Amino acid sequence: MLSIKRVPTVVSNYQKEEGGEAPEGGCGRNCLKSCCIQGARLPLYALKRVDKVAEKELPLLGCKEHCSVAFLDSLILGEWEERMQRGLFRYDVTACETKIIPGEYGFIAQLNEGRHLKKRPTEFRVDKVLQPFDETKFNFTKVGQEEVLFQLEASDNGEAQFSPNAPIDVENSPSFVAINVSPIEYGHVLLIPRIFECLPQRIDHASFLLALQMAVEAGNPYFRLGYNSLGAFATINHLHFQAYYLAMPFPIEKAPTKKITKLSDGVKVSKLLNYPVRGLVFEGGHTLESLANAVSEACICLQHNNVPYNVLISDCGRQIFLLPQCYAEKQALGEVSAELLETQVNPAVWEISGHMVLKRKKDYDEASEANAWRLLAEVSLSEERYEEVTALVLKAIASVDLSVKPQCAEEVDSVSSGTQPAMVAGSQQCLVLQ
């Protein structure tokens, strides 16, 4: 078994190393477990039915000046700010220094010492993407109800609905949106699908569709959702997505892509070019379900083949990045340089996307595009291994869409133009042990 000492971020004020059930009659923490949940009520937002992601009519990150604010967007921000006023966060993320690193891509550096200083150590395996849920370890049923912003579900009649004080239907296991008490950015929240089913950290079709619907309905291009698998720096084995607001483009969103294939249901699959982490990009689709199914099928393939990965849902759900990685595996095998290890940066979805959350003042002061590129190049699969994994993913998608037809290598779709830094090739294949 490969394992490394992990120091996971505390996402809840009730996160503990010890487990166990709460005593009869309530635990006194107003948690989400059976001891406290009876009779509890929380706001409920029902998502409207969206058959298709709207076509991109305005440049990426350009529509906030032209569009009205969606109710879901204002709900997230309003509830999050209310929790900030109540002092539920472990530090004030708005006081963290942030800067754009000079260079072609504009990597973003943030100095966030709070995430480094206020953590609890634990042992975490990195060699298994799929691991069973463990009730004795921290999970989201143990958080306090005050950390939950609202319940989220699909609307019965297809229209968006909101109830400010709805009962919690434990039997039907609602999905919750809660604060991350160790935020990376403004509005940092957790989406926890079907919370009372206690699902392990693995993507399924229904959970990914919910995350995509949330991105679409929030309607804010500054709001992105991310996912980290086990082995790719997820620290809690209870199904959840993360999301926050950042009012600038991520470097990964500006990287050029090359079209690989287009599915019969209209989903286009491309690969990233000239970016330090190799990955796939999914766009389009005749319906929202088409796009969600293609991505979730790809994620399920990676899970079954024990390949750690990260996902970024970008541009109001129009663009989805799937990023297999091997940094934790290299870390466990002693193949990461001491210089990179000393930064204590665990490159998960946000760092891979170009938002470098740094924990030491020294690293922040010395931040450069070359340093960011060097770290992320260690995250990426080798070219050979990436091609193997891509073939597995395309085969999995083809099993549910027999009309997949790979495009010629010359067909290129560039998201951005201009001279790009040369790709840094990794030397390791980083096949996770099975």
178 Cβ contact partners less than 8 Å away, ≥ 6 residues apart: 12, 140, 143, 147, 148, 149, 189, 190, 192
Amino acid at 354: G
pTM of the prediction? 0.87
Is the residue at 25 inside a domain?
no
DSSP for 144-158, please give it. BGGGEEEEEEE-SSS
Q: Are strands 280-284 and 319-324 parallel, antiparallel or unpaired?
A: antiparallel
Does any domain span residue 21?
no
Query: Has residue 205 been placed in a domain?
Result: yes
The Cα-based distances of 275 to 130, 182, 398, 421 in angstroms read 28, 28, 26, 8
Give catalytic status of residue 240 as yes or no.
yes
3-state DSSP call for residue 79?
helix
Q: Which domain holds residue 367?
A: 45-413
CA 364, CA 343: separation in Å to the nearest integer? 10
Residue 72: CATH number of its domain: 3.30.428.70
Does residue 169 form part of some domain? yes
Structural domain count of the chain: 1
- Specify if 9 maps to a domain: no
Catalytic residue among 188, 238, 240, 355, which? 240
Query: pLDDT (tens digit, 0 to 9) for every residue of the chain, 434 residues total?
Result: 444 444 456 888 877 544 444 444 457 788 999 889 989 999 999 999 888 777 654 444 444 444 567 999 999 999 999 999 999 999 999 999 999 999 999 999 999 986 655 444 444 576 899 999 999 898 999 999 999 999 999 988 889 999 999 999 999 999 999 999 999 999 999 999 999 999 999 999 999 999 999 999 999 999 999 999 999 999 899 999 999 999 999 999 999 999 999 998 899 999 999 999 999 999 999 999 999 999 999 999 999 999 999 999 999 999 999 999 999 999 989 999 999 999 999 999 999 999 999 999 999 999 999 999 999 999 999 999 999 999 999 999 987 754 455 444 334 444 443 333 333 333 344 443 33
